[in-house]
Amino acid sequence: MITIGTVSYTLSEVIALIKASPDTVWYKTYPNYLLKIDGSGSASFPTLPDLILRLAGYVMGEPKDDQLKLARYRGNGPEKNSAMALNPVAHDKVKADDVEAITNLMATGDTGKGITNKSPHMTDPETGRPKGHNITVSEFYVNGADGRRATKRTEGLKVTFYYSKSHHYNTYEYARLT
């Protein structure tokens, strides 16, 4: 999680903030560097421009003419099915049959009204990687075992929800719900 001012944001929320920021250039490697910042222990910034300056510093410091060094410098980015890589989805824009169930899940954080089978989940929907020790993730069935999936992520006091419009071959999409 990254703190800007006094507000904590998930990495996908920070990406949305940066992309919506006027006069800010988006670099495709920013997610890699957000992961570095998040893992560094110094993920607190007074303002969004301060964070953007740090990200720009990483881009400007990229090794030139050595692809192996560049790959190590950037590190692994988020998985393509993660909230960091996918666009967020409004909770009332999910599959029509799921709107009531998702709305209820986001209001209560638990099963009921089309949401069943709350179980632990080992993947962090923000990154698509194994979850960290300070993150709790739960998976829910949306309108049955053969249907879609919803995921609840808790880090500290921050709770976020994610939606996967399919679950074929035990795969997920982790679009952050807004």
pLDDT at 23 over 90: no
Residues 113-149: tens digit of each pLDDT: 999 999 999 999 999 999 988 899 999 999 988 779 9
pLDDT at 49 over 70: yes
Task: Specify whether 63 is located in the same domain as 97.
Answer: no
Task: Specify whether 8 is located in the same domain as 65.
Answer: yes
User: What's residue 166's pLDDT?
Assistant: 73
In a domain, 11, yes or no: yes
Question: 170 Cβ partners below 8 Å, 6+ apart?
Answer: none
Do 62 and 74 meet the contact criterion of CB atoms below 8 Å apart? Answer: yes
Q: Taking each helix axis as running N to C, give the angle between helix 48-60 and helix 11-20, from 0 to 180 degrees, rounded to the nearest 10.
A: 90
Beta partners for 120?
A: 138
Q: Position 43: which residue type?
A: A
CA dist., res. 105 & res. 149, Å (int):
12
In a domain, 70, yes or no: yes
Domain end call among 74, 107, 127? 74
User: 54: domain range?
Assistant: 2-74
Domain end call among 74, 102, 132? 74
Q: What is the mean pLDDT of the chain?
A: 92
In a domain, 147, yes or no: yes
pLDDT at 47 over 90: yes
In a domain, 81, yes or no: no
Q: Is the pTM of this model over 0.75?
A: yes
- Domain count within the chain: 2
Task: Specify whether 62 is located in the same domain as 114.
Answer: no
Task: Specify whether 61 is located in the same domain as 95.
Answer: no
Task: Specify whether 32 is located in the same domain as 102.
Answer: no
